[in-house]
Amino acid sequence: MKKILVPTDFSNQAENALKVAAQLARTYNAEIYLLHILEIPLHEVDAMNSRSDLPEAVFFMKLAHRKFENIMEKDYLKDIKVHETVDFHDIFKSVFHKCKKHEIDLVIMGSNGVSGLKEMLIGSNTEKVVRTSETPVLVIKKEHDTFKIDNFVFASDFKEESKETYKKAIDFAKILGAKLHLLVVNTPNKFITSEHATERMQDFANSSGFSNYTLNIYNDVTIEKGIMNFSQYIHADLIGMSTHGRQGISHFFNGSISEDLVNHAKRPVVTFKI
């Protein structure tokens, strides 16, 4: 992990994400790319590029720069290399392009947890970031004085198409030094036998050579509740899942489970695109 992207609107939630990014950057000698989105009409952006003196656009650019300066004075960023970057696109497009341009290893975003994502990360924009980002996305719900992950739940249907994201989850678990808890949630509408579920998980586990894991089957009324209740039961520090790009969540995570879990889970959530 060498490059971390943190979108910011300079809110408390965004700073919570930045503090986690700083801890990871310090541990792994990584750089942080701090991204702020300016909502300025495109014709004003074009005019700015032509060096026109547009008071509103210039004001917001200067304001963003002052806020960047204030952040850079924070003690938790001392001796960490931080790149300031401002963009004018929608947030999910900006995240996608910045990840490609700078070869970002991890995106970290802040949220309000159970009350939903607010400020910069709201509604469909958040869902689009999670779904479209080919880079893993870590969503932080609160301030972490020490971001330590011991127990990491990875929930999936453990079908063949999810193996690549499973490998990404393993890599992340290794980086964090965490135990990985593989989880299949059984619901009345999505039921498979314990034997079949165990076979699927064991097949994934055998394909990786990673040994620090457990196999788990949990029954609940919905997949979302099953993931959250199981995570609560084992006192998990992090929840991970697969996403399926613009087509939404893969077979196991259909509907709005990704957005719901990111919005409602009290724990940090990390997503990996299939």
Q: Return the ∠ at Cα 22 (arms to 19 and 25), rounded to 5°.
A: 155
pLDDT in tens, 118-151: 444 444 556 677 777 889 999 998 999 999 999 9
Q: Which helix (H) or strand (E) holds 6?
A: strand 3-7
Please determine, for residue 59, whether its predicted confidence score (pLDDT) is greater than 60.
yes
Q: What pLDDT score does 41 carry?
A: 55
User: Domain map of the chain by residue range?
Assistant: 3-140, 151-273
Q: What pLDDT score does 259 carry?
A: 67
Alpha carbons 139 and 162: distance in angstroms, whole number? 20
pLDDT in tens, 162-195: 899 999 999 999 999 999 999 999 999 888 999 9
**Angle, helix 123-132 to helix 257-264, in steps of 10 degrees:** 110
pLDDT in tens, 195-249: 999 999 999 999 988 999 999 999 999 999 999 999 999 999 999 988 765 444 4
DSSP 20-63: HHHHHHHHHT-EEEEEEE----HHHHHHHHTT---HHHHHHHHH
pLDDT in tens, 60-107: 777 777 888 889 899 999 999 999 888 877 788 889 899 999 999 999
Please determine, for residue 47, whether its predicted confidence score (pLDDT) is greater than 80.
no
Q: What pLDDT score does 123 carry?
A: 42
Q: What pLDDT score does 85 carry?
A: 85
Alpha carbons 46 and 88: distance in angstroms, whole number? 11
Which of 44-53, 157-166, 229-238, 252-261 is least confident?
A: 44-53
Contact 72, 82 (CB under 8 A): yes
Q: What pLDDT score does 113 carry?
A: 54
CATH superfamily of 3-140: HUPs (3.40.50.620)
Output the pTM of the full model. 0.85
Please determine, for residue 250, whether its predicted confidence score (pLDDT) is greater than 70.
no
Please determine, for residue 5, whether its predicted confidence score (pLDDT) is greater than 70.
yes
Please determine, for residue 24, whether its predicted confidence score (pLDDT) is greater than 70.
yes
Q: Among the CATH numbers 3.60.21.10, 3.40.50.620, 3.30.70.20, 2.40.400.10, which is that of 151-273?
A: 3.40.50.620
